[in-house]
Chains A and B, each alone.
Chain A
Amino acid sequence: MIEFRSVTKQFPDGTVAVEGFDLVIPPRKTTVLVGSSGCGKTTLLRMINRMIDPTSGSILIDGEDTASLAPVKLRRRIGYVMQNSGLLPHRKVIDNVATVPVLNGVPKKKARAHALELLDTVGLDRSLAGKYPRQLSGGQQQRVGVARGLAADPNILLMDEPFGAVDPIVRAELQQETIRLQAGLGKTVVFVTHDIDEAFLLGHQVVILQKGGHIAQVGTPAEILARPADDFVASFVGADKGKRKLRIERVDGTDVVVDENGTPTGVLQP
């Protein structure tokens, strides 16, 4: 469990990214922080592994204040996946995946063997192990990034808009993969995105953020859709434009689901 307790972050240039933020992130579930750019979602994520330290307030992981932990040690037990993968360009795929275990003192041979298994886990062919990141496609690099995040078998996996730079088809694949991995491995995933559909797809708990890290609403996707807390949320999820208000129309004996504007979105199965 990760707990934010009245966390505030003011950057040296004066911008207040986050103010008085409280949130409980349940274990073994996916929590998605979603909001437009500048809402402080990445700042919140990076405070969990102390890439950024809060100006005030505290963050607890399983009841332990992270301020009392050494940042480097903390980071090694938390997986981190970022946009554009952040792979080390001068290391082969397998060594990129094995980075953290090697840092933790695992013998290289053992770390590499484990890294090969992780390539299987994230759906990459083992033949890619000897390639350099540049030789991979964007989607493949992103998978390597996920494998690297999982390498030290962390309980927590932080994902910062990991699929923002890949094309829609690959993104859809990676999203399904993420769901499968989370369900299979039971990690606590904290996921940052600006895409509400991605948030609803992946999140058990979705946190909609407004500027300054103010929480507009927290809940399951169904709860948020059923009762948007205010106009902002309604607009953010698209409820005000009729995109989320569906009704059934009967066409040639089949129930077709259409939105408020009459645009068909699917067929109702009996």
Chain B
Amino acid sequence: MNLFFDGIAWILDSANQGGPGGWIARLGEQLAYTFGAVAIAAVIAVPLGYLVGHTGRGRDLAVSLSGGFRALPSLGLLILLGLGLGIGFRAPLLTFVILAIPPILAGAYAGFEAIDRKTIDAARALGMTELQIVGRVEVPLGLPLLIGGIRSGVLQVVATATLAAYVSGGALGVFIFEGFSTRNYAEALGASILVTVLALVLEGIFALIQRLVVPRGVVAKEPTEIRTRSSRPVAVAGLPAQEGK
């Protein structure tokens, strides 16, 4: 456990904190990758997922796409793009966007799919236009699962962003690789602790957000459903699925 305290000591050492090469700046880079990539991925994946969820078309393609990406090794993708785009932030960012798309896409369409068909049918029978059905029924009811997908994407990217240093893309991985090549375990460990804490904090924040966005009526007095499982997956709580961390 002494080694562990060496890692903590590395974090607390002010010489490792400030400046462009300090861990505070690197942590910022890690966060910038995370939210940058997830934002770009969301702009692409959310409308696409909504389209699939609303029309039901292309569902099989979306499912196999998001399933297949699970096996894609992120390190390989990063390095391949790094060879193509050169070192720097572009290859990591593109890699992370690609990684974040499948869970967000899945969250978007699964959110729509989980809605009771009778509710949609009733909305249509009341005289809602298709756009109103999407905006007033499907989007609010699908929000918890969409946030779940975004949460998965965020956690996946924040974990994988550690690899950016491999193609000179900065972020906290810099210290890990440096620690490895110079046999400085305290440095690698300190950065690892930072990445882990960052991931756990983001996880906590998203768990909270997910709880907040569940429409009130959906959680209101949930009937106990041990027996018959409702068509709606329980929207809160969840295990982020990450591939290629």
Q: Do chains A and B touch in the complex (CB under 8 A)?
A: yes
Q: Please report the C-alpha to C-alpha distance between residue A84 and residue B118 in the assembled complex, in whole angstroms.
A: 8
Are the CB atoms of A90 and B218 closer together than 8 Å?
yes
Are the CB atoms of A90 and B215 closer together than 8 Å?
yes
Q: Please report the C-alpha to C-alpha distance between residue A133 and residue B137 in the assembled complex, in whole angstroms.
A: 14
Give residues of chain B (122-140) contacting chain A, Cβ–Cβ below 8 Å. Answer: 122-129, 132, 137, 140
Choose one: A76, A84, A132, A134; the contact of B126 (CB below 8 Å): A76
Is the C-beta of B217 less than 8 angstroms from some C-beta in chain A?
yes
Are the CB atoms of A99 and B126 closer together than 8 Å?
yes
- Chain A 148-179 near chain B by CB (<8 Å), digits 1 or 0: 10000000000000000000000000000000
Choose one: B118, B132, B141, B222; the contact of A90 (CB below 8 Å): B141
Q: How near does chain A come to B244, taking the closest CB pair, in angstroms?
A: 35
Is the C-beta of A80 less than 8 angstroms from some C-beta in chain B?
yes
Which range contains the number of B residues in contact with the other chain?
20 to 34
Are the CB atoms of B126 and A87 closer together than 8 Å?
no
Residues of A near B126 (CB, < 8 A) are 75-76, 80, 99-100, 103, 148
Interface centre among A75, A76, A85, A90 (most CB of B within 10 A): A90
Residues of B near A87 (CB, < 8 A) are 119, 122
Q: Please report the C-alpha to C-alpha distance between residue A133 and residue B141 in the assembled complex, in whole angstroms.
A: 14
Residues of A near B125 (CB, < 8 A) are 46, 49, 51, 75, 80, 82, 86
Is the C-beta of A135 less than 8 angstroms from some C-beta in chain B?
yes
Residues of B near A74 (CB, < 8 A) are 127
Nearest chain B residue, comparing its CB with the CB of A99: B126
Is the C-beta of B178 less than 8 angstroms from some C-beta in chain A?
no
Are the CB atoms of B129 and A90 closer together than 8 Å?
no
Q: How near does chain A come to B80, taking the closest CB pair, in angstroms?
A: 44
Q: Please report the C-alpha to C-alpha distance between residue A84 and residue B117 in the assembled complex, in whole angstroms.
A: 12
Residues of A near B124 (CB, < 8 A) are 51, 75
Q: Please report the C-alpha to C-alpha distance between residue A132 and residue B217 in the assembled complex, in whole angstroms.
A: 5
Q: Please report the C-alpha to C-alpha distance between residue A47 and residue B128 in the assembled complex, in whole angstroms.
A: 17
Q: Please report the C-alpha to C-alpha distance between residue A263 and residue B124 in the assembled complex, in whole angstroms.
A: 47
- List 12 additional contacts besides A86-B122, A89-B218, A100-B127; criterion CB under 8 Å: A49-B125, A72-B127, A75-B126, A84-B118, A86-B119, A86-B121, A90-B141, A91-B217, A92-B217, A103-B132, A134-B220, A135-B221
Binding site for A on B (CB under 8 A): 116, 118-119, 121-129, 132, 137, 140-141, 215-218, 220-223
Residue pairs across A and B with Cβ atoms less than 8 A apart, 18 shown, are A49-B125, A75-B124, A84-B118, A89-B141, A89-B218, A90-B218, A91-B217, A92-B217, A100-B127, A103-B127, A103-B132, A132-B221, A133-B217, A134-B217, A134-B220, A134-B222, A135-B220, A135-B221
